[in-house]
Structure 1
Amino acid sequence: MSTPYPDAVNGNRAPRRGTVRAEAGRRRAAPSASGQRRDGSTGDNVRLRGWWTMTVVRGLREALVLFVIAVLLVAVAVALWVAVAGGDYTNRLGIALIVVGALFGVTGDLTLSRIGMLGPRATFGVAPEREEAGGGRVLTGVGMFLFVGLPLILAGVLLIT
């Protein structure tokens, strides 16, 4: 008996491309190289809601890492400041956190460097740069302000009061 499906066994058609035959004969999506199937699930009992879920988690993780690094560096700098000049550590830490948070809010998305390039880009007829994270970053300028700069400012205000 000749069949158009060369892998057919006992009259069953071969699985379609991109699927894997399940034990009970049902078809399920094949996993990709990252371990996730096309429907976003990983195959175990944990179901993901889509690609944006992982992007949000990566963005929040990036913001947490930046926040912790900024707080640690500011704490060390203020400790040196207090060791050299004397004074109250808590108030100076609050002031320094406010300053660093404001700097993150203003320069976190490279707006200042984009403003400096507007003239040369216009001269060569190139469109202005778009607002997007690059170089493996997930947070854009708004995310840098909301999740790194603003919490630093709020922590500084709470330390001063």
Structure 2
Amino acid sequence: MVNKINIIYISLNGNTKYFVSCLSDYIKENMDVMVESLNIKDLKGETFPVDEPFVSFLPTYLNGGNGIHTGDKEVLTTRLGDFIASNDNFKLCYGIIGSGNRNFNNQFCLSAKQYVERFSFPLIDVFELRGTQTDVKRIANLIIKHHEEFLKKL
């Protein structure tokens, strides 16, 4: 039984923060699970070791390329990757959820897919921009499932 969910994310323009807020409210109200969240943007580059499992949220901001054949470069969200890499925090991350704009085709949620390759944790799901209530419900259930599976492995 999951008692608490920790969410570590980065939000720059507010879309991811809005989604995490809606998701947190939904989990608290409908699943009776406490949620703690941290926007890495607020740490201004500082890191610390985490001591509890967490799920991560990452929007996609890329510079150049098409994300497939001509490359790309993650911009603005690298602080989340730095935090996850620091102190081996990635070992307690049981998955990532990506967000982005479907108008960017192959680059939609590409940063989250790259984190999956970099850190070897699963891509739990994706959503577009601020997400929908359907996204909130689906992702809440997936987070609980992945959290429970991760705890069994500890």
TM-score by shorter chain over 0.5: no
What's the TM-score, normalizing by structure 2? 0.19
What's the TM-score, normalizing by structure 1? 0.18
From the two aligned structures, give the one with the greater strand fraction. Answer: 2
From the two aligned structures, give the one with the greater helix fraction. Answer: 1
Larger radius of gyration: 1
